[in-house]
Structure 1
Amino acid sequence: MWMYLGLLAALFLGFHNLCKKHAVQGNEVFPVLLGTIGTAFLLFLPLYGISVVSPEMAQTQGFYITPLPWASHGFIFIKSMIMAASWLLAYQALKHLPITLVTPIRSAGPFFTFIGALLIYQEKPGPWQWVGFFLILLSVIGYSRIGKKEGIHFGRNKWVFAIIGATFLGASSGLYDKFLVQYVDLNPQTLLFWFCFYTVLILLLILAATWFPYPAKRKAFVWRWSIPAVGFLLLGADYFYLKALEDPEALIMLLSAIKRSQLIIAVVVGGLIFKEKNKRKKLIPLTGILIGVFLILYT
């Protein structure tokens, strides 16, 4: 069951990436990010209210947000800091790089998760799963060569380093999620509610210094329908992902790889919508990534 939940998370993530590209194009990145996370927080706010006013009904319906000790709040705040840094780097990179390059670089995330799962959680993949992970990594390197034809030199472009940093931080957060769900024993809705709350606070502090005091920057910001859509889609993806992690048999390395099937939507559909170059050539490493995912799932 947890694998199917992972596939649902991948579906939401694929459309999330498309909406995110639309939201940041020619736009201020920080307020866009605040709008997306703020939307997710507002969607959860009624559930929190019901959990406080009528906890029995919330428990019966399965969306009870549990009271937490301060230590658990501290754990969630750490996750918010990690993901805020990851998103800020990723959104800036997405603003300056084609989605058909950003998404495949992000697909290296399972490799970092794979190493962490081995060292921290002692998860044990099979031989073909090793092959699958290295195939994914080599395919991402193939994308870097295609990127040079679009004038994007991976060794000298700061936005490439930004998306690599975002990928590493995102993988670290994925490993941390398993700790929060299986060891701190947080349910998905409680974790997501407080995560959104603390991330909004972090972003407000950043915007108070970098955006609110500057009228020209405020006027340059354009509100788009895709901003709340990103928040809704991200919330759905994270919820299904965390629900999958609740299963004691769920392997974080496999879940991370399953989520890479979002590439079908992001590269194929995204390439058509945003009219990006070299779409056919990018299908070659995309095929390598999908074969790698297949080897991980079915061997």
Structure 2
Amino acid sequence: MWMYLGLLAALFLGLHNLCKKHAVQGNEVFPVLLGTIGSGFILLVSLFLVSVYLPEQTKGLGLHFTPISLKTHGFIIIKSMIMAASWVLAYQALKHLPITIVTPIRSAGPFFTFIGAIVIYRETPNFLQWIGFFLIIFSVILYSKIGKKEGIVFKRNKWIFAIIGATFLGASSGLYDKFLIQHLSLNPETLQFWFCLYTVLILLVILLITWFPYKEKRKAFKWRWTIVAVGVLLQAADYFYFKALQDPEALIMLLSAIKRSQILIAVVVGGLIFKEQNKRKKMVPLFGILLGVFLILYS
């Protein structure tokens, strides 16, 4: 069951990435990021209020917000700091790079998760899983060769380093999620609620320094409907991902890989919508990544 939940998370993540590209294109990155996380938080607040007044009905729907200790709040704040840094880097990179370059690099996230799962959680891969993960990494390297034809030299482009940093931090957060869900026994909606609240507060501090004081930057910001869509789709993806992690048999290395199937939506549909270059050539490494994911699932 947890694999199907992982695929649902991948579907919502793929749609989320398409909306995110539209939201940041030619726009101020930090207020867009605050708008997306804030929109998701408003949705969670609404669900929280419904659970207060209709507790029995919401429990039946699998929505139950539980009280947590001060120590647990500290653990969630750490996750908020990790993901705030990851999103800031990722949104900046997405603004300056094609989605068909950004998304495949992000697809290397399972490799970092794979290593962490072996070292931290003692998850044991088999031969096909090793082949699958290295096939994903090789495919990402192939993307870098194609990226050079679009004027994107990976060694000299700072946004490439930004998206690599965002990918590493995102993978670290994924490993941390297993600790929060399985070891601290947090349910998805409770984790999402407090995580979003603390992330909004962190982003507000960043904006108070980098955006609010500058009139030109405030005027450059454009509100788009996709900002709200990104926030809602992200919460839906996180909900199914955390639900999958609640299963004690769920392997974080496999869940991370399953989530990468989102690139099918981002590269194929996104390439058509945003009319990006070399779409056919990018299908070769895309196939390599999907084959790597398939080998992991098959194994």
TM-score bracket for this pair, using the shorter chain length: over 0.9
Aligned pairs, number = 299
More divergent stretch after superposition (209-218 vs 94-103): 209-218
Task: Name the structure 1 match of 2:26.
Answer: 26
SS of equivalent to 2:160? helix
**Unpaired stretches in structure 1, ≥5 consecutive residues:** none
SS of equivalent to 2:89? helix
Task: Name the structure 1 match of 2:272.
Answer: 272
Mapped to 1, the partners of 2:50 and 2:233 lie a distance apart of 23
SS of equivalent to 1:195? helix
Mapped to 2, the partners of 1:96 and 1:204 lie a distance apart of 23
Task: Name the structure 2 match of 1:7.
Answer: 7
Task: Name the structure 1 match of 2:62.
Answer: 62
Mapped to 1, the partners of 2:60 and 2:141 lie a distance apart of 49
SS of equivalent to 1:163? helix
Task: Name the structure 1 match of 2:120.
Answer: 120
**Letter of the aligned partner of 2:30 in structure 1?**
F
Task: Name the structure 2 match of 1:73.
Answer: 73
Mapped to 2, the partners of 1:169 and 1:235 lie a distance apart of 19
Contact 1:106/1:167 (<8 A) preserved: yes
After superposition, residues 199-214 of structure 1 pair within 5 angstroms as 199-214=199-214
SS of equivalent to 2:224? coil
**Letter of the aligned partner of 2:140 in structure 1?**
V
Q: Which whole-Å deviations, capped at 9, do the CAs of 1:79-103 have from their partners, x for residues lacking one?
A: 0000000000000000000000000
CA displacement at 1:62 relative to structure 2: 2.3
CA displacement at 1:53 relative to structure 2: 4.6
Task: Name the structure 2 match of 1:106.
Answer: 106
Task: Name the structure 1 match of 2:291.
Answer: 291
Task: Name the structure 2 match of 1:197.
Answer: 197
After superposition, residues 50-199 of structure 1 pair within 5 angstroms as 50-53=50-53, 55-199=55-199
Q: Which whole-Å deviations, capped at 9, do the CAs of 1:44-74 have from their partners, x for residues lacking one?
A: 1022224445544443442111111101111
TM-score calculated relative to the size of structure 2: 0.98
Task: Name the structure 2 match of 1:41.
Answer: 41
**Letter of the aligned partner of 2:99 in structure 1?**
I
SS of equivalent to 1:27? coil
**Letter of the aligned partner of 1:100 in structure 2?**
T
Contact 1:15/1:266 (<8 A) preserved: yes
Mapped to 1, the partners of 2:54 and 2:215 lie a distance apart of 43
Is 1:238 paired with 2:267?
A: no
CA displacement at 1:214 relative to structure 2: 1.3
Contact 1:47/1:64 (<8 A) preserved: no
Mapped to 2, the partners of 1:59 and 1:108 lie a distance apart of 37
TM-score calculated relative to the size of structure 1: 0.98
More divergent stretch after superposition (214-223 vs 49-58): 49-58
Contact 1:51/1:66 (<8 A) preserved: no
Contact 1:2/1:245 (<8 A) preserved: yes
Mapped to 1, the partners of 2:192 and 2:241 lie a distance apart of 11
Task: Name the structure 1 match of 2:221.
Answer: 221
Q: How many percent identity over aligned positions?
A: 76
SS of equivalent to 1:203? helix
SS of equivalent to 1:34? helix
**Letter of the aligned partner of 1:119 in structure 2?**
V
Backbone CA RMSD of aligned residues: 1.0
Mapped to 1, the partners of 2:52 and 2:98 lie a distance apart of 44
SS of equivalent to 2:249? coil
Contact 1:108/1:140 (<8 A) preserved: yes
Q: Which whole-Å deviations, capped at 9, do the CAs of 1:19-55 have from their partners, x for residues lacking one?
A: 0000000000000000000000000102222444554
Mapped to 1, the partners of 2:285 and 2:51 lie a distance apart of 47
**Letter of the aligned partner of 1:17 in structure 2?**
N
Mapped to 1, the partners of 2:114 and 2:252 lie a distance apart of 8
